[in-house]
């Protein structure tokens, strides 16, 4: 069931609460800062005591290497926190950590990105009103990282589809195409995947199960990094299996979503559907809709 190369091993933060995760990250950041300061001072002291032997160029090079190593290590530690969302599949804890960190954010650019990160987490909890609340405070024009611009459009387009806002969705599609126009292959590939994700939701709304299944299988085949995304798409495939009468296939996928879903909305849905599988059906059509979780034409899931 698991896509090859997708990490399923829990992170070191899995058994910690949000406050403990935040403390561990801050403690590591302070230690790194202290170490960098010591190395800078030591480098300066060595240079001052060996002025005749060492060149200013070597001194500057060592300083730059110290600063570079500091930022790379700090970035990797921050990426470790993001794995609470992407690998531990825990949007609830991730949001709690973001709330703790919010109090320490001084720079406007950091606060801006903070809103986008919150929106991403809320999407996995299927709270689209909260997603829009955060997106409305995110200023895409203020960020230089183009991946963040794509993430913003991805979520905004999804929101428009969920809320059936066709004109706004069409505007999102145009913005996405304009953003990727004339760019390198990597950006074009990312834009193509976002379009595919949107097409999946459109197929879901139209109840075109064959097309939606094809898209989901294509998305999963190209999914190599994020367990949380694989879990969401696998759950949706399980729903399609149930609608098509493939209950054995559905059971395996539902168990996958229940095992790895953690605090995602789909975990609770998967567990509920698994519990219903052995229940007798009082009414075929009503039971089929209830059993698959498709009471709202399939547009209530990721």
pLDDT greater than 90 at residue 51: no
How is 60-110 classified by DSSP, letter by letter?
Answer: HHHHHHHHHHHHHHHHHHHHHHHHHHHTS--HHHHHHHHHHHHTT--SHHH
Q: Which residues of 133-170 are buried (b: 16+ CB within 10 A; e: fewer)?
A: ebbeebebeebeeeebbbbbbbbbbbbbbbeeeeeebe
Structural domain spans, the chain: 1-88, 105-205, 226-302
pLDDT at 251: 95
pLDDT at 298: 45
- Report percent pLDDT > 70 for the chain: 89
pLDDT at 2: 53
**How far apart are alpha carbons 219 and 231 in whole angstroms?**
12
**Please, are residues 252 and 1 in contact by the beta-carbon 8 Å criterion?**
yes
- Which pTM does this prediction carry? 0.84
Residues 6+ apart with CB under 8 A from 199: 211, 215
List, for residues 227-283, the tens digit of each pLDDT value.
999 999 999 999 999 999 999 999 999 999 999 999 999 999 999 999 987 665 544
DSSP classification of residue 6:
-
């Amino acid at each position: 069931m698991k896509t090859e190369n997708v990490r399923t091993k829990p992170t070191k933060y899995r058994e910690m609460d949000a406050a403990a995760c935040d403390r561990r990250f801050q403690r590591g950041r302070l230690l790194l800062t202290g170490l960098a300061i010591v190395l800078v001072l030591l480098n300066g002291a060595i240079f001052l005591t060996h002025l005749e032997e060492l060149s200013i160029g070597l001194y500057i090079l060592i300083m730059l290497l110290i600063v570079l190593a500091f930022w790379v290590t700090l970035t990797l530690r921050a990426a470790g926190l993001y794995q609470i969302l992407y690998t531990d599949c825990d949007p609830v804890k991730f949001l709690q950590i973001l709330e703790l960190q919010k109090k320490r954010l001084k720079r406007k650019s950091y606060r801006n990105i903070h809103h986008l990160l919150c929106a991403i987490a809320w999407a996995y909890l299927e709270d689209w009103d909260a997603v829009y609340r955060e997106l409305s405070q995110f200023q895409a024009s203020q960020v230089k990282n183009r991946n963040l611009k794509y993430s913003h459009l991805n979520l905004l387009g999804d929101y428009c589809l969920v809320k059936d806002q066709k004109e706004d969705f069409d505007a999102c599609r145009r913005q996405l195409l304009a953003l990727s126009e004339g760019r390198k292959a990597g950006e074009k590939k990312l834009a193509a995947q976002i379009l595919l994700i949107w097409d999946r939701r459109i197929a879901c709304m139209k109840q075109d199960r064959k097309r939606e299944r094809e898209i989901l299988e294509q998305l999963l085949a190209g999914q190599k990094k994020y367990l949380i995304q694989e879990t969401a798409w696998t759950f949706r495939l399980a729903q399609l299996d149930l609608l098509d009468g493939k209950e054995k296939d559905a059971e395996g996928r539902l168990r996958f979503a229940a095992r790895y879903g953690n605090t995602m909305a789909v975990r609770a849905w998967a567990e509920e559907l698994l519990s219903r599988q052995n229940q007798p059906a009082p009414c075929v059509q009503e039971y089929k809709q209830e059993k698959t979780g498709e009471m709202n034409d399939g547009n209530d899931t990721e």
